[in-house]
Every structure is written in structure tokens, then in C-alpha cells.
Amino acid sequence: MKKNVVIFIFPEVEVLDFAGPYEVFSVANALSGHENFNVITAAESPGSVHACTGLKVVPDYTLENCPAPHVLIVPGGFGTRALLNKPALLEWFRVKARKAEVVMSVCTGAWVLAKAGLLEGLRITTHHDGLDVFA
């Protein structure tokens, strides 16, 4: 059975933070004969998302219609700051993380997982400019 790799994207997401994992899982899938992963993007709402550099990305799904993630990835970027004040979004992460096999973040995406209460008791890190947020 293919595993759903869901990469959450949001306004002001760092391009490398979502494109890097997308590429890694997509290439791994191609090398396996396209049998291991469904690599998809999801956003809070339909329509294009503007990354931090202005790149427009059209997500495959919204959070409402997104397939259940086996692997859930939260990238970083300046836009993570706004996500910290969205209780419904944080609850979505909590609910989906319960059934996911792997929940991971890139850079300041860790802030979102921490705010959702998903990093309790774990050793974590993020970009050195963002460590004060964890304190």
C-alpha cells in the first residue's frame, strides 16, 4: 500500500523547506517503481499559495479533503508565525499526528508542531535565529 506523504504549505512558506522533502520522497518513489509514496501538498484553503519568494504553488488538496497522512511534513518559513495563532489548524495537526507514522518538520515548522503540543519530551532544534521561540 502506498503511503501518503502530506506536505503542508502556507503563505510565506520557505520554498526549500517544502520542495526539498517533496523532491526526496518523489525521487525515492520513482526509484521504487512508483510503489511506495503518494507525495502531495495540502493547504488551509483552495487556490494558490505564495511562498516567501513570491513563487505561486497550487496545493493538491485542502486540509478538509486531504487524504490521511502516513507522513506529515510541516516546512518552515516566515509564515509559520501566523500559523501559531490558528487553533483550528493546530488541532488539525494534533488529530492527524495521532494516526501518522511519521510527523516531521523543517526549520521553523517545528514551532507549529511545538505549539500543537506534539514535541513534548522530545529533543528538538530549529534554525538558530528561531531558538528563542522555544524558550
* Catalytic residue ranges: 107
Q: From residue 129, give the alpha-carbon distance in Å to each of 16, 20, 96, 105, 107.
A: 17, 21, 28, 16, 10
Give the chain's radius of gyration (CA, Å).
14
**Residue 68 grid cell:** 490521511
Q: Which residue has the cell 523547506?
A: 17
Q: Decide: 14 and 107 in contact? Cβ < 8 Å.
A: yes
Instruction: Give the three-class secondary structure for 85.
Output: coil
| Alpha-carbon span 15 to 62, nearest angstrom | 19
5 conformational bin, left if phi > 0, alpha if psi -120 to 50, beta if neither: beta
